[in-house]
């Protein structure tokens, strides 16, 4: 079912005039016991029919872990004090009553950005009230109670002051981006003023920085920075035996669809959890290989992993300058497109950065009629939600071609990450970091050993591995070239053979191939397993085809409407 824009105008993410009145009807389990399962095994997963191959790689696929509650070494943070977190908002929250919260909730809860902006435009809501609403929910829900999710690490102490400024500017004639006045939560590996950028690590707990390039763009376009979200420490390239969503700074992030039962996915765990539980309207994550797609799908939200370079990486704690990218995490495709458009811009300090020419995504008359998508035969046989999602797409006029994936292994993927981080982390510390006192991975490894129980309760196997890795620029370039060729071949072969527009997958199952190919992907909620675990339908396209991804994802979202609010967080 389509909804048309007023006056038949195109949707322009930077133009509120074109969208204010555009409303929308509103057996693969994994044990995430280490970063290799998130970053490496999904890379190696092949949809071959070979039973032995399937058994070897079963743990590469994410979703439900067990119906029994998981026991964690560390649950709550020992490094976040409620007093310091809430001191800047004490007097304002004291005046924000439960009655006020309930009165404005219908204008905010599970609403998309255009709907929220319409409520502001009509005088039913202010940006200050919007910010207070999320602060109120975070304080009530996120930590130290039976529903706690541990998704937020820090809050912008100037949030309410900045929100009031946006309210005062509301009637200015200047045309504003739709992100104006909307609170945005940042994964805590993204630099911003007024809050430390920790990557979840105690080593960086005093890392006070300037704004990352994408944060500068967000602010230029009128966004409010709500705070920082928890993550798998060092973006899940740190410990070999830690659960996803754990960091020494933030504690253990939990999935709102099943606390201590369903895995959060990683590494952008807190970003996805907070959006899913309505603790933030939208959030930013980052991905090297699956770190947006995994938590987005496992928390029933929409996540875009853009083409490398479409969004700047400047001022983001790295794993790999060859594979890293930030990306938007939202409850709807329309919000995802708005948030993405608010971050684009060429960063001359980022070698991969480009100027994205067109973010005027047109959702009017969106149709998939005649599009051809490839579906993995093995997944069609194994996963009922995937099969149903494919049928939902067929109802929109899509042609589906089932194919068997070529067996391709991405050798040296771990080596690429280790070699890149060995040089990229020191570069970040020198160029973008604050006064941390660290200049290398070796410095941080030694620091953690001094208090291993608190700083690395699950060890630091991957950081140790970085120190033992050797290789020169020639080695690294050769590895990148080989992986890139294989990643592109994995998608290009079936796309050329069957004349496909895109390829359909689940969660982050094939994220590794897209990572090394520099291909973008988007995941959209496709329902819940019998046990209640969320899953996402993931679309893959070729480089710089984000516009196509948004069209496909939007059409599927409207045809399926599978997302549900987590029951204990309504």
Please, are residues 445 and 234 in contact by the beta-carbon 8 Å criterion? no
C-alpha distance from residue 402 to each of 45, 113, 390, 489, 493 (Å): 17, 36, 10, 17, 13
Q: How far apart are CA 197 and CA 200, in angstroms?
A: 8
Cβ(48)–Cβ(54) below 8 Å? yes
Phi, psi of 519 (to 5 degrees): -100, 140
Q: Scanning the structure block, which residue is given the tokens 């300058």?
A: 321
- Residues near 277 by Cβ (< 8 Å), separated by ≥ 6? 137, 141, 149, 151, 256, 566, 569
Answer yes or no: 346 catalytic: no
Residues 6+ apart with CB under 8 A from 62: 28, 30, 32, 37, 38, 42, 263, 265, 294, 297, 298, 507, 508
Q: By the 8 A CB rule, do 77 and 250 touch?
A: yes
CA 29, CA 43: separation in Å to the nearest integer? 16
Active-site hit among 77, 291, 297, 418? 291
Strand partners, 236: none
Q: Identify the active-site residue in 18, 229, 244, 267.
A: 267
Annotated catalytic, 187? yes
For residue 283, the number of C-alpha atoms closer than 13 Å in the C-beta half-sphere is: 36
Neighbours of 58 (CB within 10 A): 15
Rounded distance between C-alpha atoms, residue 340 and residue 550, angstroms:
11
Segment (H or E) for 298: helix 293-298
- Alpha-carbon distance 13 to 339, whole Å? 8
Runs of H (alpha helix) within 361-460 = 377-382, 384-394, 413-431, 441-449, 452-455
Cα 339 to Cα 9, 12, 253, 299, 334: the distances in Å are 20, 12, 24, 19, 9
Give the sheet arrangement for strand 224-229, strand by strand. 152-155, 224-229, 183-187, 282-287, 325-330, 302-305, 521-528, 534-540, 502-506, 372-376, 399-403
3-state secondary structure 242-255: CCCCEECCCEECCC
Cite the DSSP H helix spans in 16-105.
35, 41-44, 51-57, 82-86, 90-94, 98-104
Considering 187, 219, 305, 486, which one is annotated as catalytic?
187
Q: Nearest to residue 269, comparing CAs of 227, 215, 229?
A: 229
51 a catalytic residue: no
Distances (CA, A) of 105 to 2, 101, 119, 502, 569: 27, 6, 11, 38, 13
Q: Which of 147, 62, 109, 71 is nearest to 533 (CA)?
A: 62
Q: What positions carry a catalytic annotation?
A: 187, 267, 291
């Amino acid at each position: 079912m389509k909804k048309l824009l007023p006056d038949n105008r195109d949707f322009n993410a930077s133009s509120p005039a074109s969208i204010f009145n555009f409303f929308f009807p509103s057996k693969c389990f994994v044990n995430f016991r280490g970063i290799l399962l998130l970053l490496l095994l999904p890379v190696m997963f092949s949809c071959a029919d070979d039973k032995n191959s399937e058994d070897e790689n079963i743990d590469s696929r994410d979703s439900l872990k067990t119906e029994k509650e998981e026991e964690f070494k560390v649950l709550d943070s020992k490094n976040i004090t409620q007093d310091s977190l809430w001191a800047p908002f004490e007097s304002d929250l004291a005046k924000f009553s439960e009655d006020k919260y309930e009165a404005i909730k219908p204008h905010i809860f599970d609403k998309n950005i255009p709907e929220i902006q319409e409520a502001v435009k009509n005088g039913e809501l202010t940006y200050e009230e919007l910010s207070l609403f999320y602060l109120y929910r975070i304080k009530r829900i996120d930590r130290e109670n039976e529903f706690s999710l541990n998704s937020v690490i820090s809050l912008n102490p100037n949030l309410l002051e900045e929100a009031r400024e946006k309210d005062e500017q509301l009637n200015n004639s200047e045309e504003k981006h739709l992100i104006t006045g909307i609170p945005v939560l940042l994964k805590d590996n993204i630099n911003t003023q007024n809050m430390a950028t920790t990557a979840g690590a105690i080593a960086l707990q005093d890392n006070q920085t300037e704004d990352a390039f994408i944060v500068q763009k967000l602010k230029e376009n009128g966004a409010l920075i709500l705070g920082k979200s928890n993550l798998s420490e060092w973006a899940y390239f740190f410990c070999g035996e830690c659960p996803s969503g754990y960091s020494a700074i933030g504690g253990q992030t939990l999935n709102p669809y099943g606390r201590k039962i369903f895995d959060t996915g990683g590494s952008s765990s807190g970003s996805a959890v907070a959006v899913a539980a309505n603790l933030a309207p939208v959030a930013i994550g980052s991905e090297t290989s699956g770190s947006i797609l995994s938590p987005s799908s496992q928390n029933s939200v929409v996540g875009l992993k853009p083409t490398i370079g479409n969004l700047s990486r400047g001022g983001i704690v790295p794993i790999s300058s060859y594979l890293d990218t930030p990306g938007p995490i939202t409850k709807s495709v329309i919000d995802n497109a708005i948030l993405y458009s608010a971050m684009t811009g060429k960063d001359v300090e980022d070698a991969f950065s480009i100027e994205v020419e067109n973010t005027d995504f047109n959702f009017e008359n969106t149709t998939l009629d005649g599009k051809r998508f490839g579906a993995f035969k093995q997944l069609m046989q194994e996963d009922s939600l995937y099969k149903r999602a494919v049928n939902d797409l067929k109802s929109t006029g899509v042609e589906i071609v089932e194919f068997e994936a070529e067996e391709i292994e991405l050798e040296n993927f771990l080596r690429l990450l280790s070699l890149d981080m060995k040089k990229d982390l020191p570069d970040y510390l020198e160029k973008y970091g604050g006064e941390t006192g660290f200049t290398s991975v070796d410095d941080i490894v030694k620091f953690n050993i001094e208090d291993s129980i608190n700083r690395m309760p699950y060890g630091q196997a991957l950081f140790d591995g970085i120190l033992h890795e050797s290789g020169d620029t020639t080695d690294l370039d050769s590895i990148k070239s080989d992986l890139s060729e294989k990643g592109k071949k994995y998608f290009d072969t079936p796309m050329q053979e069957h004349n496909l527009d895109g390829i359909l997958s689940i969660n982050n199952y094939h994220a590794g191939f897209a990572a090394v190919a520099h291909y973008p992907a988007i995941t959209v909620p496709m329902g819940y397993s019998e046990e209640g675990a969320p899953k996402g339908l993931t679309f893959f396209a070729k480089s710089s085809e984000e516009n196509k991804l948004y069209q496909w994802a939007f059409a599927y979202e409207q045809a399926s409407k599978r997302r549900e609010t987590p029951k204990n967080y309504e």
